[in-house]
Copies of this chain bind each other. A is one copy, B any other.
Amino acid sequence: MTITIGQVMDRLLEQTPLIEPTVDSLRAGSAQKEVKGIVVVFMATQAVIERAASLGANLIITHEGTFYRHQENMQGAQDDPVIYEKYNLIDRSGIAIYRYHDHIHRSKPDGITLGLINALGWSPYVEEHLPAATIVQIPCMTLERTVQYLKEKLQIAFVRVVGEREMPCSRIGLLAGYRGGAALVLPLLMDYNLDLIIAGEGPEWETPEYVRDAVHQGRNKAFIALGHAESEEPGMKELAERLREQFPALPVHFIREKPLFFVM
């Protein structure tokens, strides 16, 4: 039985009410084409596209934009040699690229956050799912031990931390992606009496500086920046597992990119 790209897209969009406007759409390729194989990623990097081609996959489902901007406004960008080469690779390979960002975030609960919680083994500790964060209360660990636990479970090389190593952590707000800003996090810290915020990324002068002041005031607060990709990859990995069940005849690969940054 032939499965088209459009059918896979329809299946993805079945999960949640349709959002308008949305960045979720087919950015390259045609919905009518038959799917040979699917690659699911946080971001369709140059290396991911090459790898998808070598795996014989012709549909990439990516969370973030392929061309380095959320809205992927391509005006003038075609003159850029990096973008031009990537664009040509996509064209040549005939691989379709579907952006799946808003709808997975708006699932109830947020499919990206849920992936992170499951990867951490913290689903038994969920207290409340909010639209852009989940509150968990875990058995108490020091901040240092919590960091070790995160790095081990998520297999990440480093995280950035504000707080005191020996601080006890139990009540935690988890915010995958770029949700570490003050507007979202400060009310959470207060209303849910949280010890620790674990976010993908966010502006440094907002929540991290708030936590620095809170610590100086003698409060039990800490902040961990996991990295944007590191916080959202588990949710995309779970999506790949769901697609494998929904389309058992199709090869579905999750590709985890190498770490974006190294620390020196």
Top 6 closest pairs, chain A to chain B, by CB: A160-B261, A204-B228, A46-B213, A46-B216, A64-B205, A68-B210
Does A161 reach chain B (CB closer than 8 Å)? yes
Q: Verify A178–B201 contact, CB threshold 8 A.
A: no
> Given the complex, which residues of B lie within 8 Å of A190, measured CB to CB?
79-81
Q: Verify B228–A68 contact, CB threshold 8 A.
A: no
Q: Verify A80–B186 contact, CB threshold 8 A.
A: yes
User: What are 13 inter-chain pairs, A to B, with CB distance below 8 A?
Assistant: A45-B212, A46-B212, A46-B216, A46-B217, A68-B182, A68-B209, A69-B206, A77-B186, A86-B217, A144-B264, A161-B264, A162-B262, A204-B228
> Given the complex, which residues of B lie within 8 Å of A148, measured CB to CB?
264
Q: Considering the chains assembled together, what is the distance between the CA atoms of A85 and B214 in angstroms?
A: 9
> Given the complex, which residues of B lie within 8 Å of A214, measured CB to CB?
82
> Which of A69, A148, A204, A216 has the most CB atoms of chain B within a 10 A radius of its CB?
A204
Residue from the list B69, B178, B229 in contact with A183, Cβ < 8 A: B69
> Given the complex, which residues of B lie within 8 Å of A1, measured CB to CB?
none
Binding site for B on A (CB under 8 A): 43, 45-47, 64-65, 68-70, 76-77, 79-82, 85-86, 144, 147-148, 151, 158-162, 178, 182-183, 186-187, 190, 201, 203-210, 212-214, 216-217, 219, 221, 225, 227-229, 257, 260-264
Residue from the list B160, B178, B182, B209 in contact with A203, Cβ < 8 A: B178
> Given the complex, which residues of B lie within 8 Å of A68, measured CB to CB?
182, 186, 205-207, 209-210
> Given the complex, which residues of B lie within 8 Å of A46, measured CB to CB?
212-213, 216-217
Instruction: Look across to chain B and name the residue whose beta carbon is closest to the beta carbon of A200.
Output: B204
Q: Considering the chains assembled together, what is the distance between the CA atoms of A45 and B162 in angstroms?
A: 14
> Which of A46, A47, A159, A213 has the most CB atoms of chain B within a 10 A radius of its CB?
A213
Residue from the list B79, B204, B261 in contact with A260, Cβ < 8 A: B204
* Contact A261:B225 (CB < 8 A) given known A45-B209, A186-B80: yes
> Given the complex, which residues of B lie within 8 Å of A82, measured CB to CB?
210, 213-214, 217, 219, 221
